[in-house]
Structure 1
Amino acid sequence: MAAAGRVRSADQFLCSICLDVFTDPVTIPCGHNFCKSCITEHWDNNDNYQCPKCKKAFYPRPELYVNTFISEMVAQFRHEAQHEPNIYSSEQQAAKPREVPCDVCTGTKLKALKSCLVCLTSYCQTHLEPHLTLSRLKQHQLIHPVENLEDRMCRKHDKPLELICKTDHTCICVLCPVVDHKNHEFVPLKDEYEERKAELKKTEAEIQQMIQERRLKIQEIQRSVELSKNAADRKTAEGVKVYTALMNQFKEEIQEKQRSTETQAKGFINELEQEICELEKRSTEVEQLSVCEDHLHFVQRFTCVKAAPSMKTWTKVSVHPPSYEGTVERAVSELKDKLTEDTKKVVVKAELKRVQQYEVDVTLDPDTAHPNLILSDDGKQVHTGDVKKKLPHKRQRFTDCCSILAKQSFFSGRFYFEVQVKGKTDWDLGVVRKSIKRKGQITASPQYGHWTIWLRNGNEYEACAGPGVRLSVQSGLQKVGVFVDYEEGLVSFYDIDSSVLIYSFTGCRFNDKLLPYFGPCPNYRGKNSAPLIITPIDTKKLIKWTDFL
């Protein structure tokens, strides 16, 4: 209550012209009080002498005398304010750094509550009171406190910037459209504010999305680094394993030569020691015979002792240390070949995993099937039967070759599919142009729109490159992957189980739609009865190809 009383007392000592505490207060004839300098300047700038509050006119101009009673009350009020700095602390606070201060406060600047765009002044709660009570000040536009109010005024017309010229993208006052922005498009700042605020929400959403995308990218990069580290650790372990194996092999080869040398030497030594024993025995007999005086015994034993035993001539016998020349070089060469082979496998395996990302769903087209072919209901398997079916004549059907095409065709991009060939002795696989020959004898080569490989007689693999290219394929090939890059002109075939590249057609010119091609070949009395099966990629084995980098 005391604080409230002080605030009301302070209101009584405010000049309604300067809105500050009275300085040399004077009372004019109507009874209203003003600062002497304020009312004097007000009357000096006007042709009549009216009270600024009640508008009552005076003539002649009244003499002004300081109201000693009010002056003493103001002096007392100022004294109390100086000795009680927290007089407004219950409702107001001193302006802190980066807060807008009241422009009217003397001494300690209080925090501004509002800024007036007409007065171009910021007010604390106390000095804002006239704008809330006086009718002529209530019409002023109040906003949240801001600094540099002069920047909100038109420098040319000294009016508030209340419009925006959409032609020049400039804030203007209400007088600017008359001359400077004539025939321009302009709208109130409030309307532009609402429109821009809606755009700002959209911008904020876009920014948040971009932030999220970048956070996800950071996670992706961190994951790539983690995968790279795992791959590095794995390859380091594999390299150590290879080096260890080759080092053990290298040591074993040297040790084997050393063991062979030691065995030979040990045999020679044993044989020499036996001969030494025999010679020592003979030496003893000779020594005993030399002291014998029995003539008969001497003559009889002399012939036996003199006869030399059958012994080896050791002059040319020797143990030669084994040669280790070339051992290190051979080990390094083997290591190089091993690393080259392993690197090639890793590269091909990574390449296979990469192209498997382009897998497409392929199904067989019965309208293209040779009459001897038998298809599964799901269009994923085909094998050759013994009976030739009577089928309606179709332009797209194969009539002489046991072949069939897929329903899907491709005119651009990349695609990949896998086919199981397990148990077959003969087959054809690849891609062909849509416009290939379907009737009569067919020549399979790129010249005639075929990019295929085949198997014959269970172990003869060939790329139909015109002329054919014999292929080196590991026995037991069970599944073939086919990859096509239309723009690159590339058709590649992979051994899926071994992750080995079988063959690639490069520099191809397709110039037409491409269709997957399947040739189960004749049954050969059951020897080649296994079907060709279009299989999906084994997702359990499908890992990111970056794991191999």
Structure 2
Amino acid sequence: MAEAILGDQDQYSCSICLDLLKDPVTIPCGHSYCMSCINECWSTNDQEGIYRCPQCRQTFDSKPPLNRSTVLAEIMEKLRSTGLSESAQCLAGPGEIACDFCSGERIKAVKSCLECRASYCEIHVQPHYNVPALKKHKLVKAAVIPVCPKHDKLLEVYCRTDHKCVCMHCLLDDHKGHDTVPSTTERNEKQIKLTQSQTKVKKTVQAKEQELQMMKIDIASHSDSAKKAVENSKKMFSELVKLIEKKSNEVIEEIKAQEKADLDQGTKLQKKLEEDITELKKRDRVLDDLLQADDIQFLQNYKSVSSSSGSDELRSFSFQPHCSFEDVRKLISELTGKLETTCTQEISKTIHKVSDLSAKGPSFDIVVGDSVRVKPSVVTPIHKWGSVTYLSVGVVKKIQGDLLTVDFPEQKNWTGAVSEMERAGSDLSTKNGLFDMSVGDRVRVKPSITTPKHNWGRNVTHKSVGVLKDIKDDGSVVVDFPGHANWKGLLAEMELVTNNDEIGPSSLDSNIKIGDTVRVKPSVVTPTHKWGAVTHKSIGVVRKIQDDSLTVDFSEQKNWTGIVSEMEVVASAGSGSSCLDSVIKIGDQVRVKPSVVTPTHKWGAVTHKSIGVVQKIHDESLIVDFPEHKQWTGLVSEMELVTGADLVDIKVGDRVRVKSSIITPKHNWGGYVTHKSVGVVKDIKSEDVIVDFPYHKSWKGILSEMELVIGSDADILGSS
């Protein structure tokens, strides 16, 4: 019985002090605590009038009555008394705490007293349970008692300012005026958060275990299905072979039957011909006898013999079969060729479809956040195309069973089957869906590409439409854009622009409409229809839009013609210092845009990661003070505002995730990383960051694509 009680000793420990229950009380939710511990825990909530269970977090509107649990108290006494004899002779091993009061052999300590600053075995700790003065001491599980290295005092206070434990003497010197609380108070608050995090982790573990069980069932079911498919395939192909053999036998029987019919006819003709020959030979002998006779006999018999010669009455016979077996051979040869071609093609299609259903796109390979498209082998999706095509690339928003919801640029909340989709990664073939790109096609960078592998260049954007000039064997392409000739990119990053979507403000620059105030983009060196009297500083009003062209009235030139893709909207033309970019003003924190490869006025000591303060703005130029470079000169159009969230410094050990604004990370998602995944930063190299996610270790990304997960958000690590 004693061993059973000792075996369950953890059940009788107070979750607040982690010691065996003293004066145990049980609150309405069923959890038990030391009376002093729960009273101290709830004393901080007396003013709020809200009382929670430290373990299950159940809330009570009024403070529940705390009555001593007699049964638990008796169990505690038995547990302590039983533990004396069973643990008294237990010697302290390497790394274990020894009793400070045992002489001779080092007996293992079971408790440490924070007041006495000593450790006790089960025998020597008994006075702390029986002596009234010692009952008030704080007992903890045997451990090395931490003390202040400076004052040699017990660490009883937590400094929130410096995030460390200190003694009471430290409050008078090094930590004077700091935000400090009793260590128990801080522990209770952090324990609540940790308990919540542990609860989430346990729920996640349970969910993952259920998921594992379901996966095992699915794998077993899939294996059984494969075996049945193999057996069924063997059966069907065997039946097909038998069918071919049966039909082959039928053809052979038909050939034999036709042969017999033709031979029977030939035999009859042959017999008739033989009879005619016999008759003719007989006639020949009669004629021969007559020719050998004397004159009188010849003349007397001539008339009768000559009148019955019958040579003209004989019919001509020839064997003409109804069936030509040479034609039959040709027919069989043609049939064999057709069967071979059909079988090869259809079986190849079947193998390809089986490959699509298994190797190319298993359902578990697609997760929420992935970029996907419809497989080229799918003729018509189960839930129809809608506005989606083979070229469409969208982001998975939801997966439920075999169905998934995808946001395409052409259609939001599109529903499809997981088995019909494939991930749209960097391994796309030279054929974009079923549309083969060739030199001369109009193309643009896919909306799903955040930054092309070879960067944007100064004049290329998602809206730029160019002509495909060359396709290399390594999958790279050369494109002539209006503002950037011989731009280099990857074929997998491009999409075809059809006649319906290559022109018109709705597709190229949907935010420009008649009446808007616009200007030529700073990235455009020379407009397609030339400058005229217009400059980068000119601001005019749109009067007409037709296809990709627009007419603008500038103060310098009326009815100026330009291209929609070369223009940008100016929010406020009269804002003084910021007519080029009204959102940036003096005093703002800014950095160079990620899309700018090299600033117009060069980098100096500045990088994409540098954050500085705007000191001066003049027309389209501005002066910025960076920590690395004071009085740095740049263009307003090349800069972007840095918000408070962007200013957070990411360090090794921080918990991070991919920003929700990133559609596809530069180095791709990996197998199990999504927007919800939370990982720990393992290493930072320049702009690259290495992150350990729960299901993808050493994942590589870009620092600018990541965001810190702070506060309660960090607790979702287990649910990612």
Normalised by the length of structure 1, the TM-score is 0.38
Q: Which has the larger radius of gyration?
A: 1
Give the number of the structure whose residues are more often strand, by fraction.
2
- Structure number with greater CO (CA < 8 Å, separation at least 6) is 1
